[in-house]
C-alpha cells in the first residue's frame, strides 16, 4: 500500500500573547490556533478545509510547512518529519511544496517584474538552470496560466486581481512541486473570475499530477474542487469525509449549520429552506470552552459535552461529536 504524500499527526500551532502592562516575568497567555489536528493526504487528492474566520485554517496551512512555529508530526512521503528537519534539509523539501496566498497583489513583490517574480523560485531551487532555461520555463508557465508573453516586463500594480492570482499560481508551479497549498485563493475575486481560477487549478492538477490543500470559507467553492472536506472550528477538526458523503449526509451539528446557510440559486427553494441557527459568537481561542469547543453554540449540547473532548476516530467519515447524526426537527429554525 502506497504511503500518503502527507500524514499529519496531532498538529498544534500556538502563539504566545502578551498584554500591555505585563511584567517581564509574567508568562504570556497561549492562543491555540490549531489544537491537535490529524489527517492523511493521499497522492493526487485535493483536501478542502472550511470553517469560520478565525477557526485556524490558515494557521494549519502555515504550520504544515513551518511558516509559523508548530508541533506534532508532519510526515512527508511516509518517512520524513518536516517539523524535525534542519533548515538546510527543509529548503530541499520546500521545492516540492508551494503555496498560493489569499491576497494576490500583496503576495507579489511590487519592485519585481512578472518575469522576475515567476522566475524567482527557479533561481532559488534550480541553480543549475541557465538564464535561457529560466526564460523558457517562465514563458511556458505564463502561457499555461493564461498570461500573454508581452506582459513579462510589467509590474504587479498593472494587473487585475485575477491576473495577479494567475501570476501567483505560475510562480508556485514553475518548479513543478508535488503539493500545492491554496490559502483562500479566490476569496478576493469576483464570482466569474473565481470560476476561471478554480477551473485553471483543476486543469493544472490533472496535467501535473498535483496533490492539493484548498482552504476556503465558501462551501460551494470547496465542493467543486475537493475530493475530501475537513471542517474546522476553533482549531479542532469537527468532521472530515469524502465530499459527496459530507454534503449529502453531514453528521456534526456545526457542519449541518454551515451547509444550511449556503444560498440556493432557486428563489422558491431558498425561501423554503430550513436554516439551522448557530447562536452566539465564536469563543476566544485564548480561553476555549472545556470539552467540546463547539458546545457553547451547539443545539445538542449536553452536560457530558463540557467534560469530554470528542475524538474523530479513524473511519472514512470522521466526526468529533458525542451525539452525531442527522438534523433533528428541534434544531431547525
Residue 332 counted as domain residue:
yes
DSSP string, 315-331: SSSEE--SS--SPPGGG
Residue 40 counted as domain residue:
yes
Grid cell for residue 180: 500545492
What CATH number has the domain bearing residue 272?
Answer: 3.40.50.300
Averaged pLDDT score across all residues of the chain: 90
Q: Which domain holds residue 262?
A: 1-16+30-96+179-191+211-333
Distance CA 309, CA 167 (A): 43
In this prediction, residue 29 carries a pLDDT of 83
In 3D, which of 84, 41, 83, 73 has the Cα closest to residue 178? 41
pLDDT bin (cut points 50, 70, 90) of residue 39 is very high
Residue 15 burial by Cβ neighbours in a 10 Å radius (0-12, 13-18, 19+): middle
Residue 314 counted as domain residue:
yes
Burial of 249-274, coded b for 16+ CB within 10 Å and e otherwise, reads: ebbbbbbbbbbbeeeeeeeeeeeeee
For residues 181-185, average pLDDT: 93
pLDDT digit string, tens, across residues 187-235: 878 888 899 999 999 999 999 999 999 999 888 889 999 999 999 999 9
pLDDT digit string, tens, across residues 296-314: 999 889 999 999 999 888 8
Beta bridge partners of 34: 13
Number of domains in the chain: 1
For residues 260-274, average pLDDT: 78
Strands 71-76 and 179-183: unpaired
Residue 101 counted as domain residue:
no
Least confident of 39-43, 289-293, 317-321, 326-330: 326-330
pTM for the model: 0.91
Q: Residues, the chain, total?
A: 333
237 half-sphere exposure, CB direction, 13 A CA radius: 25
Considering only the C-alpha atoms of the chain, give the largest distance between any 2 of them, rounded to a whole number of Å: 67
pLDDT bin (cut points 50, 70, 90) of residue 53 is confident
Asked if residue 147 has pLDDT above 60, the reply is: yes
In this prediction, residue 21 carries a pLDDT of 65
Asked if residue 330 has pLDDT above 70, the reply is: no
Q: At what angle do helices 191-208 and 161-173 cross, to 10 degrees?
A: 10
In 3D, which of 206, 204, 211 has the Cα closest to residue 143? 204
Q: What percent of the chain has pLDDT over 90?
A: 67
Asked if residue 12 has pLDDT above 90, the reply is: yes
For residues 159 and 262, which has the higher predicted lDDT (pLDDT)? Answer: 159
In this prediction, residue 24 carries a pLDDT of 72
Residue 106 counted as domain residue:
no
Asked if residue 134 has pLDDT above 90, the reply is: yes
Residue 118 counted as domain residue:
no
Distance CA 14, CA 113 (A): 36
In this prediction, residue 23 carries a pLDDT of 67
For residues 177-186, average pLDDT: 94
For residues 142-156, average pLDDT: 94
For residues 38-55, average pLDDT: 93
Asked if residue 98 has pLDDT above 70, the reply is: yes
Least confident of 109-123, 185-199, 237-251: 185-199
In this prediction, residue 59 carries a pLDDT of 95
Asked if residue 60 has pLDDT above 90, the reply is: yes
Helix (H, G, I), strand (E, B) or coil at 275: coil
Residue 3 counted as domain residue:
yes
In this prediction, residue 190 carries a pLDDT of 86
273 half-sphere exposure, CB direction, 13 A CA radius: 18
In this prediction, residue 142 carries a pLDDT of 96
Residue 227 counted as domain residue:
yes
For residues 293 and 279, which has the higher predicted lDDT (pLDDT)? Answer: 293
Amino acid at each position: 500500500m502506497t504511503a500518503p504524500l502527507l500524514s499529519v499527526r496531532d498538529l498544534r500551532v500556538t502563539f504566545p500573547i502578551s498584554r500591555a502592562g505585563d511584567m517581564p516575568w509574567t508568562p504570556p497567555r497561549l492562543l491555540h490556533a490549531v489544537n491537535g489536528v490529524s489527517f492523511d493526504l493521499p497522492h493526487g487528492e485535493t483536501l478542502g478545509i472550511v470553517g469560520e474566520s478565525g477557526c485556524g485554517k490558515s494557521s494549519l496551512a502555515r504550520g504544515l510547512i513551518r511558516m509559523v512555529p508548530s508541533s506534532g508530526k508532519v510526515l512527508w512521503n511516509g518517512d520524513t518529519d518536516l517539523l524535525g528537519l534542519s533548515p538546510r534539509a527543509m529548503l530541499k523539501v520546500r521545492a516540492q511544496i508551494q503555496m498560493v496566498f489569499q491576497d494576490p497583489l500583496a503576495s507579489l513583490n511590487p519592485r519585481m517584474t512578472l518575469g522576475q517574480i515567476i522566475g524567482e523560485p527557479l533561481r532559488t531551487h534550480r541553480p543549475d538552470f541557465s538564464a535561457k532555461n529560466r526564460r523558457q520555463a517562465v514563458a511556458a508557465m505564463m502561457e499555461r496560466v493564461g498570461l500573454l508573453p508581452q506582459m513579462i516586463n510589467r509590474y504587479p500594480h498593472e494587473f487585475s486581481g485575477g491576473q495577479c492570482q494567475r501570476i501567483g499560481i505560475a510562480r508556485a508551479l514553475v518548479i513543478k512541486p508535488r503539493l500545492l497549498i491554496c490559502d483562500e485563493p479566490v476569496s478576493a475575486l469576483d464570482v466569474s473570475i473565481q470560476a476561471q481560477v478554480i477551473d485553471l487549478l483543476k486543469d493544472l492538477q490533472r496535467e501535473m499530477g498535483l496533490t492539493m490543500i484548498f482552504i476556503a470559507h465558501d462551501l460551494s467553492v470547496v465542493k467543486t474542487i475537493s475530493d475530501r472536506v475537513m471542517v474546522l472550528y476553533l482549531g479542532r477538526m469537527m468532521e472530515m469525509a469524502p465530499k459527496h458523503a459530507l454534503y449529502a449526509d453531514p453528521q456534526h451539528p456545526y457542519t449541518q449549520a454551515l451547509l444550511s446557510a449556503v444560498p440556493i440559486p432557486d428563489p422558491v427553494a431558498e425561501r423554503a429552506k430550513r436554516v439551522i441557527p448557530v447562536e452566539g459568537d465564536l469563543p476566544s481561542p485564548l480561553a476555549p470552552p472545556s470539552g467540546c469547543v463547539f458546545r457553547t453554540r451547539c443545539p445538542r449540547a449536553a452536560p457530558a459535552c463540557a467534560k469530554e473532548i470528542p475524538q474523530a476516530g479513524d473511519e472514512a467519515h470522521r466526526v468529533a461529536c458525542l451525539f452525531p447524526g442527522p438534523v433533528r426537527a428541534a434544531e431547525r429554525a
